[in-house]
Amino acid sequence: MTNVQKLLDILEEIAPAALATSWDNVGLLVGSPRSRVSSVLLALDPTVSLIAQAQERAAELIITHHPALFQPLKCLRTDQPIGSFLDAALRAGINVIGCHTNLDAALGGVSDALAQALGLTNTIPLIADKKQPTCGLGRIGWLPTPLPPEAFLTQLQAAISLPWLLEAGPRSIAVAKVAVCGGSCSDLAEAALAAGADVFITAEIKHHVARWAEEAGLWLLDGGHFATENPAMHILQQQLTERIRLADLNVQIHCAQQESPLKLVAQEFCKE
Binding residues for a divalent metal cation: 65-66, 104, 225, 229
Contact 98, 25 (CB under 8 A): yes
DSSP one-letter string for 1-14: -EEHHHHHHHHHHH
CA distance 99 to 245: 21
- Name the H helices within 110-148: 110-118
User: Taking the CB of residue 246, how many other CB atoms lie within 10 A of it?
Assistant: 9
Query: Is residue 84 exposed (0-12), middle (13-18) or buried (19+ Cβ within 10 Å)?
Result: middle
CA distance 258 to 90: 21
Q: Which parts are annotated binding residues?
A: 65-66, 104, 225, 229
Sign of CA dihedral 39, 42, 47, 49: negative
- Name the H helices within 128-182: 149-159
